[in-house]
Structure 1
Amino acid sequence: MAAMDKYDIPRKPVADVTQSSQVPSTGGTSLEPKSEPPARKGSWWSKEEETAQERLTKDLAKQFSGKKGFDGHWFHRPSKQEPAATPYDSAAILESDAKGRFIYRNQLGQTYHKYDDVATYLSPTNFIPKRLLVQATPDVFQNHMKEGDWRRTTIKGSVPFVLKVAEWALKPSNPDENGKTSIFGWILTCLRILLVAFPLQIMLVLPTTASWADGDIKESYTDFPGYHWKWPKYAINPLDMKPNETSSEKPNNTRISSRRRLLRPRQLVVLKDGEWVLDPNPAKDISYIFVSYANIHFDTYNSETGRHMIEDMAAFAALQAGKEAYWLDYKCRAPKDQQDLLDADVYRMCDVIRGSYRVVVMVKSNKAELKMEWGSRMWTLPEALLAPGDSVYFCSPTEDSFALTSMHKVEMTSSVWVDPEIEGEDGGPTRLLAEHFTGLLTLSRLEILSNSIAALGNRFGNKYVPYAKADIAYALMGLLNYRIEKAESDSLFQSIARLSLANDSDKLIERMLCLYPDPHNNSTTAFQKLAEPDLYQTHLWDINPECQVVGVADEDNTVLVDNCRALSIRWKNFPRMSVVRHYGFKKLLAELFVASGAWWFLFGFNLTITYAPFYAFPDGLHGDTLRNALIYLVAGFFAVGALLSFCGPFSIRRLYGGQVLQSSPNLIGFEGVLPLSKLEPLIFGNNNGRLTYSPSSTPFSYHYRDARERVGLEPSWITNSLSDPSVLSEIRAKLPDGHKLFTLVDTGALTVSVFSAERPPTVALLAGREGGMLRAVLCSWRFGNDCLVREGVIRMDSDVFDAASAKSWLKVCLGN
């Protein structure tokens, strides 16, 4: 149930290779096409070579035709091409060849050329991009074939044929929901056994029949062979930074430098000889007040009257505090024509606040509305929180002078600062910050960071804030130790990610990667949700990351992740299971019955052929006695063989089925849902209670509320979906926009999880832990820019972690 907007691969005109110009790319990748090969001459081929755009158009028309196809498996092509791409899909695009195909470089450095059309996955067997084939349930084929850009095939297992035949024979005698079997069912089973008994005996002796012996169990899940070769936009280590455009040898270090703190103001307005003048070099030990105001009240850019009023009020407030200096932004900051110095003053204003005696807010009157307008500005929040002491002072004009009043920071959260109400939460992020900065409550660094981002985000976007969205990060920077340089091209995510990496802020981005925000709530950004619990009722600080973010990518909301364990998810079919079964007395008898049944038949045939002359010449040397004895002996062999053959289906069920003690770990998915009574026979051949639903892996997990054991149960809507398909329509109507139902089977843990996502995820990243379970980030793979895009998050058992392989440098997008 991933909470995200549409992340679809752009159906590129790739690079329009009919032109010679490059396609812009912030990733620095050239899409300039190679020259087209000349047309063939002197042969039947007389037409000019097709352009890359024409080839791509033909490929898209074929891949989205909705027709059937075959590539070793029958499949249905999608019929609807997905809409336009999101911005990050074209930022660091892969290079293309003369035919318009993208050039992918795998982790071994080998290149592969492929069109970017339908959904793609990275094959874990030969490390090349392949078109994704998704097995789907009948309900999907009947009602949802026009949705999605991936190929579909019917859901099928890989069960030995002899087991299928045996289960067909025994099916009428299987107990019903009440554990009972009808007499008619037993009669029908006997008739079916008579029909298949002898063919089964023949098949069991053939060398082509699959063995019932336990196979070799692999110890790890299928690895995801991904590796991202592009330079990050920002990296933790300077050696991993993108080289300068002017020099390929020297890394570009300027983007990761941090601004030093401003230990004292560069300029102050000081009272000298009875006049307030600007001092460009104030004394180090001078004490001053910090003046705050909302420019919508005074219009200091255009109004001389407004500037005079603020300066008079600032002088009054300074003298009332017993000080002879104050800091006022438009007088003490650098002029606009010195942009670098001006930026330094703005983004280090927090240091000026920390060094002041008190913070005084200038308002035109003492009305609550004006104070709330001041409190709604994004930049005023750190000014108040960092104010020395527990109070902030307000200065307002009276009939003959000015009045100075104080207000406790906690008191301001009810009358000056307004936070959106969060269901189930006591107070908003601003209230928590006010209590922390007044010493009433101690927040962890992670709680300070997440609540600060949420509080600043709540103030962005109102009519009083004419700033760029990335300014949230620069306002937040004042509450932290290390600073970053301003970059005009940075998005909000990139700015906060840089700030987080620079301050070692308890792995904020790594924890964000593991969070699962409610996908139904798209009214706020992911950063504004940081202080809220996610869909699993988990807070940011409850997660313990198991990976490291090593860089920020060119694309928005995208990072480079290292040391993250990755598992490939298989979608095309269920493989033949390699298991270790319980070896008990029943299995021993089953092996004896299967092995000896054919032997009794063969020995009877051998006696018949060997002693056939005695039957042809009844008056021979030995007479009727020996002849009759042979007849009875042969008949006895055939009778025993027939009896053992009659037990054959039961023996096969035990040999190929039985209790599973260990199974090779795999993650296998399919689109839609199936009851376990239908799903387990696809994997193991029959339903013997081997699979169970995970009790708390996804929001669809279900269990009895008064259960004494932590055991997952099959949701009733899945059980009833066979008899009443309308229940699936009701569930799908409640899903987030664009989401579809998928099922994930873990053959290692023998558990089943149902989740929703926009696209079938092909990779599971074990990125963190919480509550005694792993956080597995389910990602689809975008071939066009070699990026994993988060589709959802599920919880998995901790023993999966050691059975997965760690990966280096994967590019992961958290979504919009």
Structure 2
Amino acid sequence: MATSNTLFGSRASSEPDVEAAQGTFESESKLFSEVPLHDVDEKKQEQEHSQSWEWMSLHDETKELRHRDAFGRILKIAEDDDREYRIRPDDGKLELLEVQSFGDVGNDRVAWKRIGKPKNRTPALIRLSNWTFSSVRKPMLQDFYSPISRVTTVEKIRRVTMVALKWLPSCILMIFMLLMPKNLEGEHRNKGFYDPIRYKDWGYTKVARNPAENRRISAGHENEDDESAALLQQEKIQPSRPCQDHRRIPSWTSAVSDSDSLMDARYDDLPGRHFRPRYLCFLTPDGGCTTRRVSDYIKEQDNVTNPEYVFLSYTRRQFCVATEDELKGWDVTEEERRIRTDLGPRHRQMLKNYGIEAARAAGVPAFWLDYECLGCEHSSVVADNDDVWRICDIVRAAYSMIIVLGPSFTNPHEPFSAAAKDYWFHEWGTRLWTLPEILLCPDEHRIRIYSVGDPDEEPEQLAKRNFASRAWSDAKTVRQLIDHYEGSIHLTPLELVSIALECFETRTTDQRSGGDMSYALMGLLRRRPRVDRSDSSFEAFARLSLANDSDELLERLICMLPSDGRAEWHHVRDAWGVRLWDIEPLTQVAGIVEKDKVLLDGAYGASITWKSMKPHAFIVKQTLMRKITKILLRGSPVYLILSVMGVANLSISYQTERQYISSHLITFLFVLSIVFLFPAVVIALAAPWMLRKVYRGKFWSTQASFIGVEGVPADIGECEKRLFGYNHGRLQWSAAGSVHSRHHHRHGECVPAAPRLITSSASPSPFGNRTRAFTLIDTFNMTATAFYAERPPSAVVVCGREGGMLRGILCSYDWRSQTFCREAVVRMRTLALDRLFRVDRFRFALRHPRSGGAGA
């Protein structure tokens, strides 16, 4: 198994030979029908596929899905096939996932093929050597400080006796085995590198980071909101030139009006930010109010550019402002619909009265109320109005802000009291959109709080900096955001977004779209992409992250392991307690793919082998003694046979032909043969010991690969024997590779220990009922890491680093969408990068489409 140092090449010359894989491909599986890509018509090619398709009889009438591999071969698989597949690293073909295991892993139904204990592929000579010493072999414990029972003298004598009885038969067998040439140095491939991931993405993204990569829309296409449209629509802007005629310079009023919708489009190619609301409720001399377009009001007034106004905040958990037409589409009982219909006009008028009172108290001519100032007809909120997503601009431009509190629908007749007001305040604070309103409102005036039924004439006034402890249970987290917007502390973009996500995920809202949380977060950032109501929550956040300088937040987020396997993507708490800014990304999000996927580029990766444990090559120090021992051992059968033949031949010659040969010469040759025979016999008798001596010692390097095992092996020394021939305790459990890894502190050293995992399929898992235990063996770092996942991951993708270790994302492969899906996250040594290949840009999802939760 020892190999020379030249076997493991440098990265510059380490790309594996793929010429054979790029040649003519032949069908190797009854499950697939393959057709190489040539210059043929697409329809004709699909017809050939359908004619040559061979599948099980139960799938004859089912729909088939198309899969294209890295080398362009097209495969068709039945749509209802729910089995797990992997990409074969040697030729890029798709194959059924077969998983090995040690011990009992249960008999429940799984989507992969269980093959049980892997076949022992170590050379017979090595196995014979292990069998000889099996009686006295010292246990190589992975936990060095586990108690070892003392061996009695009688037991020692019995063990030595067993070895003595095995010794002579073992020596005789070894002599004959050494006559037959056999590679004892293990398998060497990829010049010592890990098995690559043969993957290529053939499709378009929904939104690409570079708009040039987006799918082009045909000239006759009328739908400008097609999902393939670029995130940043290019607009040709004429360069500004100094105007010589001052009479042609537009007035400030008209300039502001014209730039309302083009402000960001001219500078950032993004939807415009508002200088002011489109509509406001203006006070009238008769004590009422009227809703008017702000631009019309400005034209009627002299020396007015932006009218001051009060922003009114409330929650629809306490006030029903929906119109009768809106209530028709609500999923409520008829009784509740009737009650809300009766409450609607009264609550709308009540909020108007509070707005009128607040505007007069502030000395401003108007106030802003959402259901009055967002709808086109000024009567109700129109869900399709884009101004709904730009309320942040309206809050920023306000003169001051007021909050109106009242009893919730669960107890509509609750009278006012100090305790009731605190509850109403807390309920207001649990809503999603109220948090950005507080963060963005001006701080030069205190926020006035009105409560329904409050007998005090004056409302309570509260400074923004004091809101955190009054309104929210997560006051410590919210206070950081408030201090940032008040200017007392400064948060980096990464800290701002991560803390805001942590706050928003605990709040509720009446969802307008799947991306409401991201659109609420959008108001806190400068650059805001166009709202796409077809976006899911993750897609909306991904678009927002690409549009802003978020310090690679999305790239860091995918490297994290949620503390709860069933947590959503916006759960930014890592199972190791690491924060987002502690992770250094090694990859880049190149685009957003539909259905909660992103396109990653620049990652390192390797395939995981699940169905075999072949002997691996390794390098040990080539000492003079080891070289001489190997020569003697390999030549011992020849020495022994020639010596025996020489003695026998001379004996016969002495008896039959002594009259022709000098007796002194025969005696000399006979003695010489005896002299050679003696060391040959000694070498033959010492062959078991010499064989262990040659292949024993510290590894200087090994053939790198990832080996997967279902369950947790009780003795990883058995795995080491199958991979390297002997168990000398080189393969150890990782000290901090997963959240289940353990280690001891002894004599100032960190000593790894075996993990304590639930291996029975009937036992509950801390990461969901569908997760089960697996073990990942890294033959380069010589570590074994136990983790939980729903399905066996077929690839390791390194996307970041933290704490001096790499973040390896263990991914299963969803062949339907050709996407790698996160199953678990492990930590591995940085040295692994020296043996990993780059992965071509690939589709990645935080969760498998048929998943119930993430693993750990």
Question: TM-score scaled by structure 2?
Answer: 0.76
Structure 2 residue 373 is matched with structure 1 residue 332: yes
Structure 2 residue 281 is matched with structure 1 residue 278: no
- How far the C-alpha of 1:137 sits from its partner, in A, is 0.9
Query: Residue in 1 aligned with 2:739?
Result: 699
* Alignment partners' CA distance in 1, 2:769 and 2:533: 33
- How far the C-alpha of 1:813 sits from its partner, in A, is 0.9
2:207 to 234, 242, 248: 234
| CA displacement 1:43-82 (0-9 Å, x = unmatched) | xxxxxx99x8x9455369xxxxxxxxxxxxxxxxxxxxxx
Distance 1:469 1:488, change over 3 A: closer
Query: Residue in 1 aligned with 2:301?
Result: none
- How far the C-alpha of 1:237 sits from its partner, in A, is 1.9
Distance 1:676 1:233, change over 3 A: same
- How far the C-alpha of 1:410 sits from its partner, in A, is 4.4
SS in structure 2 at match of 1:231:
coil
1:322 to 363, 380, 384: 363
Distance 1:363 1:219, change over 3 A: same
AA in 1 matched with 2:555: E
Query: Residue in 1 aligned with 2:434?
Result: 380
Query: Residue in 2 aligned with 1:120?
Result: 85
* Alignment partners' CA distance in 2, 1:400 and 1:624: 137
Query: Residue in 1 aligned with 2:193?
Result: 220
Is the 8 Å Cα contact of residues 604 and 635 (structure 1) preserved in structure 2? yes
- How far the C-alpha of 1:629 sits from its partner, in A, is 6.2
Is the 8 Å Cα contact of residues 432 and 507 (structure 2) preserved in structure 1? yes
Distance 1:56 1:479, change over 3 A: farther
* Alignment partners' CA distance in 2, 1:154 and 1:174: 22
Query: Residue in 2 aligned with 1:359?
Result: 401
SS in structure 2 at match of 1:591:
helix
- How far the C-alpha of 1:432 sits from its partner, in A, is 3.2
Query: Residue in 2 aligned with 1:409?
Result: 464
Is the 8 Å Cα contact of residues 119 and 612 (structure 2) preserved in structure 1? yes
Distance 1:664 1:259, change over 3 A: same
1:345 to 387, 394, 408: 387
Structure 2 residue 405 is matched with structure 1 residue 392: no
Matches within 5 A, 1:479-558: 479-519=524-564, 522=566, 525-527=568-570, 529-530=571-572, 532=573, 534-555=574-595, 557-558=596-597
Is the 8 Å Cα contact of residues 82 and 111 (structure 2) preserved in structure 1? no
SS in structure 2 at match of 1:784:
coil
AA in 1 matched with 2:354: M
Structure 2 residue 223 is matched with structure 1 residue 183: no
- How far the C-alpha of 1:492 sits from its partner, in A, is 1.1
* Alignment partners' CA distance in 1, 2:688 and 2:454: 102
* Alignment partners' CA distance in 2, 1:374 and 1:761: 44
Query: Residue in 2 aligned with 1:163?
Result: 126
* Alignment partners' CA distance in 2, 1:357 and 1:703: 59
* Alignment partners' CA distance in 2, 1:398 and 1:58: 70
- How far the C-alpha of 1:646 sits from its partner, in A, is 0.7
Matches within 5 A, 1:416-495: 416-419=471-474, 427=475, 429-460=477-508, 465=510, 467-495=512-540
Matches within 5 A, 1:803-814: 803-814=835-846
Structure 2 residue 727 is matched with structure 1 residue 687: yes
Matches within 5 A, 1:659-738: 659-674=698-713, 675-705=715-745, 708-715=748-755, 736-738=768-770
Distance 1:215 1:801, change over 3 A: closer
| CA displacement 1:20-49 (0-9 Å, x = unmatched) | xxxxxxxxxx999966999xxxxxxxxxx9
* Number of equivalenced pairs: 712
Query: Residue in 2 aligned with 1:58?
Result: 58
Structure 2 residue 813 is matched with structure 1 residue 772: no
AA in 1 matched with 2:703: S
SS in structure 2 at match of 1:712:
strand
SS in structure 2 at match of 1:489:
coil
SS in structure 2 at match of 1:218:
helix
| CA displacement 1:230-256 (0-9 Å, x = unmatched) | 211222222222343776999943655
Where do 5+ consecutive residues of structure 1 fail to align?
1-13, 15-29, 39-48, 61-97, 420-426, 719-725
Structure 2 residue 197 is matched with structure 1 residue 152: no
Is the 8 Å Cα contact of residues 647 and 673 (structure 2) preserved in structure 1? yes
SS in structure 2 at match of 1:112:
strand
- How far the C-alpha of 1:372 sits from its partner, in A, is 2.6
Structure 2 residue 116 is matched with structure 1 residue 103: no
* Alignment partners' CA distance in 2, 1:703 and 1:714: 8
* Alignment partners' CA distance in 1, 2:189 and 2:619: 8
- How far the C-alpha of 1:354 sits from its partner, in A, is 0.6
* Alignment partners' CA distance in 2, 1:213 and 1:678: 16
My pick for the range that moved more, 353-362 or 409-418, is: 409-418
* Alignment partners' CA distance in 1, 2:185 and 2:512: 69
| CA displacement 1:295-343 (0-9 Å, x = unmatched) | 4444333433333332222122122223222222222224269999962
* Alignment partners' CA distance in 2, 1:59 and 1:612: 77
SS in structure 1 at match of 2:629:
helix
SS in structure 1 at match of 2:459:
strand
Distance 1:482 1:212, change over 3 A: closer
Q: Percent identity?
A: 26
1:307 to 317, 323, 348: 348
* Alignment partners' CA distance in 2, 1:612 and 1:113: 74
Distance 1:595 1:454, change over 3 A: closer
SS in structure 1 at match of 2:576:
coil
Distance 1:580 1:106, change over 3 A: same
My pick for the range that moved more, 598-607 or 208-217, is: 208-217
AA in 1 matched with 2:569: A
AA in 2 matched with 1:259: P
| CA displacement 1:227-285 (0-9 Å, x = unmatched) | 22121122222222234377699994365553211012223233465664434223324
AA in 1 matched with 2:695: Y
Distance 1:248 1:272, change over 3 A: closer
2:308 to 277, 284, 287: 287
Structure 2 residue 148 is matched with structure 1 residue 173: no
| CA displacement 1:610-661 (0-9 Å, x = unmatched) | 4354344387355877766665554554333221101101111122343321
Is the 8 Å Cα contact of residues 657 and 685 (structure 1) preserved in structure 2? no
Is the 8 Å Cα contact of residues 119 and 132 (structure 1) preserved in structure 2? yes
- How far the C-alpha of 1:774 sits from its partner, in A, is 0.8
Is the 8 Å Cα contact of residues 433 and 451 (structure 1) preserved in structure 2? yes
* Alignment partners' CA distance in 2, 1:231 and 1:164: 53
SS in structure 2 at match of 1:738:
coil
Matches within 5 A, 1:135-150: 135-140=100-105, 143-144=106-107, 146-150=109-113
- How far the C-alpha of 1:758 sits from its partner, in A, is 1.0
AA in 2 matched with 1:236: R
SS in structure 1 at match of 2:387:
helix
AA in 2 matched with 1:433: L
Where do 5+ consecutive residues of structure 2 fail to align?
1-30, 32-41, 140-147, 234-269, 299-303, 324-343, 407-415, 848-852
Is the 8 Å Cα contact of residues 586 and 654 (structure 1) preserved in structure 2? no
Aligned Cα RMSD in Å? 3.6
- How far the C-alpha of 1:581 sits from its partner, in A, is 1.0
AA in 1 matched with 2:568: T
SS in structure 1 at match of 2:752:
coil
SS in structure 2 at match of 1:690:
coil
- How far the C-alpha of 1:150 sits from its partner, in A, is 3.0
| CA displacement 1:134-161 (0-9 Å, x = unmatched) | 1111323xx3464443342422443222
AA in 1 matched with 2:543: R
SS in structure 2 at match of 1:789:
strand
